[in-house]
Amino acid sequence: MAETATQMQVSDEVAIQIEGMNKWYGSFHVLRDINLTVQRGERIVIAGPSGSGKSTLIRCINALEEHQQGKIIVDGTLLSSDIKNIDTIRSEVGMVFQHFNLFPHLTILENCTLAPIWVRKTPKREAEEVAMHFLEKVKIPEQADKYPGQLSGGQQQRVAIARSLCMRPRIMLFDEPTSALDPEMIKEVLDTMVELAEEGMTMLCVTHEMGFARQVANRVIFMDQGQIVEQNEPEEFFNNPKSDRTKLFLSQIL
Ligand code: ADP
Ligand code: MG
């Protein structure tokens, strides 16, 4: 990433802007010519076969991975290897992974207050109040003093969402948040995500939950072999897919 840290002149209506972005892992060209503009409040579902680059794209957006060509502008900040820049992005962008990535030796409450206290320098008492607010929001305030290992998978994933929200992100990224969960727990996590969407959170969500996509997304993006092959509003995407690759994918999952 050659560019220096800069506040970019993009409309405040734009949450994420990606232009001509390419990424390689060594000699493997994993993301090809990605162009994507996400408006504030948009809810985007990213679909596509395994290995198509969905996780890599999401990870580039919060600078967990570097890209080699093109621009990524998140919340007006151009991503570069400048460390201050990366900290800005990480505090604006929440990320929820397939495996909840909670700290096993910390209580649920401590998991939620760790970053606000150490990164945001929020006083402990205030951080705990905010954490309880979000634990109530995801409907597990009574679990605050337990450890992650004492909770079900669905509860742990809701903690992971609450923990992200404690940093007051303007954008939330989800990478297959329900795919490690038993079927009976998927709904409770999706319900939390639907609620977030209804409150106007800007969301990018990699998921195979096509019911969620129909209900919540205003755009579905289909990726294959490192490229955005097709994108459309959900009804059109599901009922009238354009490319053969999208048709094949839909025939396999629906
Ligand atoms: P998806 O999330 O769509 O399944 P990924 O973004 O995880 O796809 O991976 C895209 C491609 O990049 C895959 O071929 C994968 O094997 C490869 N890949 C992912 N991470 C790495 C890495 N750290 N080093 C090298 N190759 C990787
Ligand atoms: Mg993935």
Is 131 strand, coil or helix?
helix
> What is the rounded end-to-end Cα distance, in angstroms, of the chain?
39
Collect all residues with Cβ–Cβ distance below 8 Å to 158 and sequence separation of at least 6.
Answer: 138, 139, 140, 188, 189, 192
CB-CB contact of 19 with 36 (8 Å): no
Q: Give the tokens for residue 171.
A: 């954008």
Residue 4 clears pLDDT 60, i.e. is over it? no
Question: How do 93-96 and 171-175 pair as beta strands?
Answer: parallel
Helix (H) or strand (E) holding 23: strand 14-25
Task: Read off the pLDDT band of 2 (50, 70, 90).
Answer: very low
Instruction: Round to whole Å and give the CA distance between 49 and 43.
Output: 20
Q: What is the mean pLDDT of residues 213-238?
A: 96
Give every strand in the sheet of 77-78, ordered side by side. Answer: 28-39, 14-25, 69-74, 77-78
36 forms beta bridges with 18
Q: How much is the pLDDT for 7?
A: 62
Task: Read off the pLDDT band of 254 (50, 70, 90).
Answer: confident
**CA distances (Å), origin 134, targets 172, 191, 200:** 15, 14, 16
**Closest ligand by atom to 28 CA:** 1
Q: How much is the pLDDT for 198?
A: 94
Residue 1 clears pLDDT 80, i.e. is over it? no
Collect all residues with Cβ–Cβ distance below 8 Å to 193 and sequence separation of at least 6.
Answer: 161, 174, 177, 203, 205, 212, 216
Instruction: Round to whole Å and give the CA distance between 53 and 124.
Output: 39
The protein residue with its alpha carbon nearest to ligand 1, atom 14, reads 51
In the reported structure, the alpha carbon of residue 131 is separated from the centroid of ligand 1 by a whole-number distance in angstroms of 33
Is the CB of residue 207 below 6 angstroms from any atom belonging to ligand 1? Answer: no
Q: Give the tokens for residue 163.
A: 């923990």
ipTM score over 0.95, yes or no: yes
Q: Please, what is the average pLDDT of the chain?
A: 93
In the reported structure, the alpha carbon of residue 97 is separated from the centroid of ligand 2 by a whole-number distance in angstroms of 9
Q: How much is the pLDDT for 85?
A: 79
Is 34 strand, coil or helix?
strand
Instruction: Round to whole Å and give the CA distance between 217 and 227.
Output: 20
The protein residue with its alpha carbon nearest to ligand 1, atom 16, reads 51
CB-CB contact of 6 with 74 (8 Å): no
Q: Would the pTM of this model clear 0.90, i.e. be above it?
A: yes
